[in-house]
Amino acid sequence: MNNEYFTIQQASEGIWGVISVPGSGSLGNSAIIDLGDLTVVVDTTNLPHSGALLRHTAEQLTNKPVKYVVNTHFHGDHVNGNQQFMKSEFISTVWTRDLLSDMGEVNIDLMQQNIQKIITSLNQVRSTQKDPHMLTEIDYDLSVQRALYDAIPSLCRVIPTITFEDKLVIQGTKRTIEVLSYGGGHSLSDAVVYVPEEQTLIAGDLITTKTIPVIPYGNPYAWIRILKRIQKDLKVDTVIPGHGEVSNSDRITDVIRFLENTITYVSGAVKSGKSESYWLEQGVLKGYEDWHLPQYFRWNFRWLFNSMLVQNNR
Ligand SMILES: [Zn+2]
């Protein structure tokens, strides 16, 4: 079942985490759920090619075609494999559907130009780094960007047709899933899939395992509120995160702490009066140096620092 793009980790009875191999290009995790009489896939990875392997794996594991695909949010590493599920129905929040629809057809030249810019800036950052972990992670990121660059000419946008506001329930013969949204935190609109019988949460990018969460264009304050609500409302034993290994509910606490620590750190940086470049030279926030995707901390810092500066100048 494992391949160059992902490993399969059984999370609980009838539920499998599809965990991205670092640097392979698949980037985002997915999940496969066997509801008894029907199969659901959550998120479709970053590449059409890994999406095809995901569908094949889901059919093999559950001996059924995939009836529904849930897109937890609109980011490419969770939706770019959608086109491999043309016989399935797609589910997302109303807002995620609208965001995907507003993006329109794939503009190959524009997307490739943007990726080229990301590759250039990653190479610039790489040339200033000495830490072996940071260098390895940047190299993974570069190979992900190159794989996506090559895949873009074959990419087609697939827009969900079944939408919901805050809750949608799918009842199977063996188990039931709740597709839930508490608004946007990581993105403008984030959904999770909860399986009450197995106390398992498929979290999209609201929860990561030892991987720097991506804050830009989200809302870290709302994100903390959403995670605290999940802790209060849902009994969670097992988490399939958007990035990193299958884990348990401790990862919810990890992300809350990360967001709180980042907000405190960046607001201190803003108050210090020192420049953005001074702070960027300080590297990754202490305690998180060994997490995956450490290069995203820079992006988080810049976005939050500049958002807070704009707020202060109002
Ligand atoms: Zn995301």
pLDDT of residue 313: 78
- Residue carrying the six token digits 């569908």: 55
Domain of residue 223, residue span: 6-104+156-248
| Cα 273 to averaged position of ligand 1 atoms, centre (Å) | 31
pLDDT above 90: residue 311: no
pLDDT tens by residue, 188-238: 999 999 999 999 999 999 999 999 999 999 999 999 999 999 999 999 999
- Residue carrying the six token digits 């790489």: 126
**ipTM topping 0.85:** yes
CA dihedral in degrees (230, 51, 145, 306; nearest 10)? -20
pLDDT of residue 1: 84
pLDDT tens by residue, 1-27: 899 999 999 999 999 999 999 999 999
- Ion ligand 1: protein residues whose beta carbon lies under 5 Å: 75, 205
Residue 143 lies in a domain: no
For the chain, how many structural domains are there in total? 1
Q: Which residues contact 79 (CB under 8 A, 6 or more apart)?
A: 43, 44, 71, 100, 158
| Cα 205 to averaged position of ligand 1 atoms, centre (Å) | 5
pLDDT of residue 194: 98
| Cα 60 to averaged position of ligand 1 atoms, centre (Å) | 27
Residue 167 lies in a domain: yes
Residue 98 lies in a domain: yes
CA distance 141 to 138: 5
Q: Can you give the CATH number for the domain in which 49 is found?
A: 3.60.15.10
Residue 148 lies in a domain: no
| Cα 214 to averaged position of ligand 1 atoms, centre (Å) | 7
| Cα 220 to averaged position of ligand 1 atoms, centre (Å) | 13
Residue 285 lies in a domain: no
| Cα 70 to averaged position of ligand 1 atoms, centre (Å) | 14
Residue 253 lies in a domain: no
pLDDT of residue 187: 98
Residue 118 lies in a domain: no
Residue 296 lies in a domain: no
CA distance 22 to 43: 17
